[in-house]
Amino acid sequence: MSSKSNNQGRAYEYACLHALHDAVSALRPAQIVTNGSYDTAKTAWETLTGAEKTIFAISAQSAMATLFAMEPNIVEPTDDTLNLYIQSDRHGEEADVRDIIIERKDIIWEIGLSIKHNHLAVKHSRLAKTLDFGEKWYGVKCSDEYWRDVKPIFDFLEEEKSKGKRFKELDSKEDDVYVPLLNAFIKEVTSQIGKDKTIPLRFVEYVLGKYDFYKVISVDSKRVTTISSFNMYGTLNKRSRAAFTNILAA
């Protein structure tokens, strides 16, 4: 991800957090809990132009009514204070892809939002020369056979780089890099699953996280904001003490 994309992503987190706070505060007590992640997002927000801030704010605000309809616990009128905060990136490394947490202490309840600006990915996972994807993604080290299979591919890339070639200048990236690397990946994962049937679940947990969440995506070019639910564990879309959900999440 480029520095500009990363900056805009953090700025959009800031916009969504404040849109939440403004909308919830009109209905019940709410507060933004500031931390280092909030400060980073605020700094990113302040780099935007006035026009960009307007687009980001409108996009964030447009998601609120749908979110409240799916999660009546957010706006249930009570005396407790709803806490809103941005999580640190460290949580993503621990299989928690949520960027913003919405939390109530009186009923020990929370949900999370994954905030995306102009892209749909949950994670940007890559294969690399020294990355043991098995150990990182699902807790099983890659086999010696996998490392033997991929070594010639990465050696080739290092050799071409030493000649001054950029990746986009390679003559046959598909045949020399993509296909053999993906074949080695498929072979390794298939072999590991044959030995341990819990790997698919752990892989999904790594990609989608160990917690349910809503993904809020702003696509600026289309002036569209979408909300998708990832309710693998059944913790989203619960009725409050006073109201049922008005929109059912998948």
pLDDT band at 211 (very low <50, low <70, confident <90, very high): very high
Q: How far apart are CA 6 and CA 185, in angstroms?
A: 28
- pLDDT, residue 248, reads 72
- pTM of the predicted model, to two decimals? 0.80
Q: State the sign of the Cα–Cα–Cα–Cα dihedral 175, 176, 181, 186.
A: positive
Going by C-alpha positions, the residue among 237, 198, 9 that lies closest to residue 122 is 9
User: CA triplet 18, 112, 108: central angle to 5 degrees?
Assistant: 105
- Asked if the model's pLDDT at residue 53 lies above 80, the reply is yes
Digit-coded pLDDT (tens) for 178-204: 999 999 999 999 999 999 999 999 888
- Who contacts 29 (Cβ-Cβ below 8 Å, separation ≥6)? 79, 80, 81, 82
**Mean pLDDT score, 19-38:** 96
- The letter for the amino acid at 123 is K
